[in-house]
Structure 1
């Protein structure tokens, strides 16, 4: 009897299970994100259960495939919470989020009820994740000068991609149910699984970088710093802060934080934040980056410095990435650094007009 080759879907599910399980081990052992490690492990188990069901091994009480959808929402929210808050790592009580999924697996609720409940729960958890992300985006510029390096907009994009994949899979399942298999066959499901594995890998990579940069908000930083003591003389405080920042060139530190400036000035972080917000009318990040741009322009104004690479000058004044430097400089000056250099060189080469005798 001739041996039958496994289908493309079977191969992809096996590879997805293997890759996701490997991700779970790596992320878990490095303690990058326990929720992400669990999410990868759950997805790997999901693939194995699907394989078992396809081969007729998962029947009756063993067929728990509908329960997996109830785990992804809570795990994704806990993953985001850990990215946003330094104290956001999972605790034992967070295991309660998994009870609905366990209930569906044990009691085998009807498919429609399980999927409806899973969809509603997923929407709630995603909204909670968006709320945490919005909090991080509003607080981070008030606490550190390199807020762009720990920006979490990639998580927003991940959510949108996951949503697009989910909607496409729903459309594929619906088309398959009515017999339109031209684009709704196993090949399309295999493609969806490849995209999901790619997203999990990207999330593992980006969350590793986020951890290395300590991009989480500390517990002491979660209060609104702008609501500091209104009786403080912010004008006087800002003069002190501005003098210390300029005289000691604190802006040259790429990862300069609000606490660093407060310590250098001998002030409380809330007073520093209140003075910058109240007098300069900008966030801490904008204030420091404006000082960096001013320092860059001073270097660029020196003819002896113009032979150096622009990025070298940018790094010297405290920027830590080309994209952040170009974005901030263009925002503050209305032109790119290259355009600014070109204008200076044109001015140097222009003939000097002399008054008529």
Structure 2
């Protein structure tokens, strides 16, 4: 019953994704991934019910199916984090699966009775081929899980360089998804099929729930394109100035230019307190300063020794330390003042405050009043 429920839920999720408006690349990959996994689960269900006689031509097709799991996980991670640049070569990730199908073709062309006899005799006559296929499946699964984690790590660095918040876009659930995939491969090594596919059913529910909820994080435009489009809409900025600044994207700043931009940054932070915007991004701040985002990132990294995320949140922490001491703010809670400073969650506030001061907000206040 569990497997049948998993099959129904999986294809239901595929239908939801297929009917979704404005489907992203990640949605399309997820729909195809779920379809292939649902089909694989269906093939196992036929084994479980010993009902392959109803679909004799399908017997054996489940053997190479695990080889698509790793590539789909990797491509889905790449699409979600906007790192799938060489799309026309995506099919190469499925080359091991294609090769496995071709190698197994002599088996597929056997009659149903002949194939059934092979299965009943634990793959007699195909022992070496099964061993090679099993090894390839394990290598593929583990390798793609590691590659997916690498993509996710790069994504987190990217959002720290471009966003002042990360609670909704850090894709922590995707990390659990990748780790779940790794656990499945461990289950494959040590347990029998019924345990593997029971775990797969719950894994599919997890994929479907979070995958359908997921929204885009980065647009398909590059930073340079966004910068030009955003800034060129400002009538006070000439296109020549824009192009001149774009040149800095891959070049180093002189110390004078870096110092000048840093002074402007410090001034605008003091006067306009842009960090109070909880959704502030590097692109928005660079537009305010009329510099390319990559230039601003370089200035913050060099002059402040921090990425954009840490720099902005340090500004918020410093603002909180000022506001909390004002008599008129004594009636407010610590969290309400933190929100006023630009934090958008209690978790983000506590984490960044402790990172900056080494103390929790309440510990800091106790320490402050004991030492004044």
TM-score scaled by length of structure 2 = 0.76
Partner of 2:12: 22
Contact map agreement 1:251 1:291 (CA 8 A) in 2:
yes
Map of 2:282 onto structure 1: 258
Alignment partner for residue 125 of structure 1, among 124, 144, 166? 144
Unaligned 5+ segments in structure 2 are: 106-128, 226-245
Instruction: Say whether the 8 Å CA contact 1:232–1:271 is kept in structure 2.
Output: no
Q: Pick from 55, 62, 65: which aligns with 2:62?
A: 65
Corresponding residue for residue 37 of structure 2: 43
Q: Structure 1 regions of 5+ residues with no counterpart? A: 1-10, 174-184, 351-357
Please say if 1:249 is aligned against 2:273: yes
From 161, 178, 195, the equivalent of 1:159 is 178
Q: Tell me if the contact between 1:226 and 1:274 (Cα under 8 Å) persists in the aligned partners.
A: no
Paired residues of 1:245 and 1:251 also in contact (CA < 8 A): yes
**Contact 1:292/1:318 (8 A) holds in 2:** yes
Moved more, 109-118 or 133-142: 109-118
1:121/1:251 Cα in 2 relative to 1: closer, same or farther (>3 Å)? Answer: same
2:206: which partner in 1? 199
| TM-score w.r.t. length of structure 1 | 0.79
- 1:256-291 deviation line (CA, Å, top 9, x unaligned): 111111110112222211211111111111111111
Q: Is the 8 A contact 1:35 1:75 kept in 2?
A: yes
Task: Indicate whether 1:108 and 2:104 are aligned.
Answer: yes
Quote the offset at 1:105 in angstroms: 3.8
Shift of 1:98: 3.0
Question: Aligned residues, how many?
Answer: 320
Take 2:272 and 2:370, find their aligned partners in 1: how far apart are those partners?
32
User: Aligned pair 1:230/2:253, yes or no?
Assistant: yes
Does the aligned pair in 1 maintain the 2:149–2:178 contact within 8 Å? no
SS of the aligned residue for 2:159 comes to: helix
Structure 1 residue 90: deviation in Å?
8.5
- CA offset at residue 49 of structure 1? 1.4
